Amino acid sequence: MFRLFDLSLRLNGFPIQEAKAQLKEILKLKEKEYQNFLENKKMEIVHFHLKNNLFYQDLVGVENIPQWEDLPILTKKDLQQPLQNRLSKGYSVKNSFVNTTSGSSGTPFIFAKDKKTHALTWASNMLRFGWYGIDFNSSYQARFYGIPSDFIGNKKERFKDFLSHRFRFPIFDLSDSVLEGFLKNFQTKKFDYLNGYTSSIVLFAKFLQQKNIVLKEVCPTLKVCIVTSEMLFESDKILLEKQFGIPIINEYGASELDLIAFENPQGEWQVNAETLFIEILDDNNQVLPYGEMGKIVITSLFNKAHPFIRYEIGDLGILDEKSTLQKPILKQLIGRTNDFAHLPRGKKAPGLTFYYVTKSLIEDDGNVKEFIIKQTKIDTFEVDYVSESELTSAKMDQIQKAIASYLEPNLKFTFNRKAVLNRSNRGKLKQFTSFI
């Protein structure tokens, strides 16, 4: 079989065959061997950047390698400076993979990976998608993502889609007429899997539900649906399973790092322990035991072009009590550290709490297609929603009473019906935002 995807990586200087072989060797390690591998890689990457990266030298502030727990936490604000200042000796924009983060955390930045590390990223993706019979060289992807609007950027993405054997469904307009066109493509094309932003795929499933259509029945070649970049609620997963008729798999990743966690065939959110090292820290940057919620801090074990060492990604999570060093399990992803609502009585609540409570009430009759919540003042919230008809006063009162009983009373809500919701330039939908 002609392996176009592998070939395109090699032609761009990414040694994919070597990366696959290296990943295979890491996976063979026994528990004690893995512990030694991990400790060696941690010290090796710190030593490399202390020797070859002025940005990291300044951040650490000492020449000798300190204890791991004494290393500084790298934040996104630290990275808000020109990439040239952050590259390691011997690396440049020309001999590295360079890209920009989505900015969903509010602080986008340009990053770099050396080409071998980027190849390892793809090898890691291929391994996990392979758990479900997906081969990037041959499997046909239905891709629910945004796409650049400028001519050159658009053509580049379309060419990458061709090389990656995928058909893109742009998600900036998700009206019923557009979704009808999506459905026709599934009726005529032999897709193997869906991949893309959770909110857009959920909206497509709601459209199918209205029409009483199961996607697998109109596209029998479908094997699996993999959602990413946005929270997947249990109720939405049940809806997707029903309307698609295939397994729904949850992915968690970051473009500047790698695939961070991927749902395995046993239903566990298995953390990538081959190319990354994950820590859960408290507010004082102390490591928390398994089972406790804290900041997710990640180290890229191989990237020599740019340091991502004890990097605070901006999310909160919990590692399962049954985790091991070699097989960490992400029990729960709580959301972003900056997505918290500060309430009049001094309480600090995850913004997704508002979203989840509202969601349980607002979508029960199929009227509301999607919605977002914005905190504009300490006691004031706006709900923007897309629906067939206006929310009734009774429904609005019901939502406010539920929030009052769940969090605190006397919070003010305004409800704004919209034709469409604003998405980021990449197509992501931010469910909760605080402007205070």
Sketch the domain layout of the chain as residue ranges.
Answer: 4-336, 340-434
Q: Which amino acid is at 332?
A: Q
- Core vs surface per residue 144-183: b (16+ CB within 10 A) or e: bbbbeeeeeeeeebeeebeebbbebbbbeebeeeebeebb
Q: In a 3-state reduction of DSSP, which class is residue 401? A: helix
pLDDT of residue 55: 96
Cα–Cα distance measured from residue 228 to residue 262, given in angstroms and rounded to the nearest whole number? 10
Tokens of 60: 């650490």
Same fold, 4-336 and 340-434: no
The whole-number pLDDT of residue 423 equals 78
Residues 6+ apart with CB under 8 A from 388: 366, 367, 369
**Sign of the C-alpha dihedral, residues 140, 172, 432, 419?**
negative
pLDDT at 95: 96
Each residue's pLDDT expressed in tens, for the chain with a length of 436 residues: 558 889 989 989 999 999 999 999 999 999 999 999 999 999 999 999 999 999 999 999 876 777 999 999 999 889 888 999 999 999 999 999 998 876 554 456 889 999 999 999 999 999 999 999 999 999 999 999 877 666 787 788 888 888 788 999 988 778 889 999 999 999 999 999 999 988 889 989 999 999 999 999 999 999 999 998 888 888 899 999 999 999 999 999 988 999 999 999 999 999 999 999 999 999 999 999 999 999 999 999 999 999 999 999 988 899 999 999 999 999 998 766 556 788 898 887 767 677 777 877 776 666 888 888 899 999 999 999 988 899 999 988 988 888 888 788 899 999 999 988 887 666 677 888 888 8
Q: Which residues on neighbouring strands pair with residue 167, listed in sequence order?
A: 142
pTM exceeds 0.75: yes
Distance CA 101, CA 111 (A): 7
H or E stretch at 96: strand 96-100
What's the CATH fold of domain 340-434? GMP Synthetase; Chain A, domain 3 (3.30.300)
87, 112 Cβ separation under 8 angstroms: yes
DSSP-derived letter for residue 109 is -
Count of C-beta atoms within a 10 Å radius of residue 384: 17
User: Which CATH fold topology does 4-336 show?
Assistant: Rossmann fold (3.40.50)
pLDDT at 434: 85
Closest to 432 in 3D by CA, of 344, 330, 342: 342
pLDDT for the residue numbered 358? 82
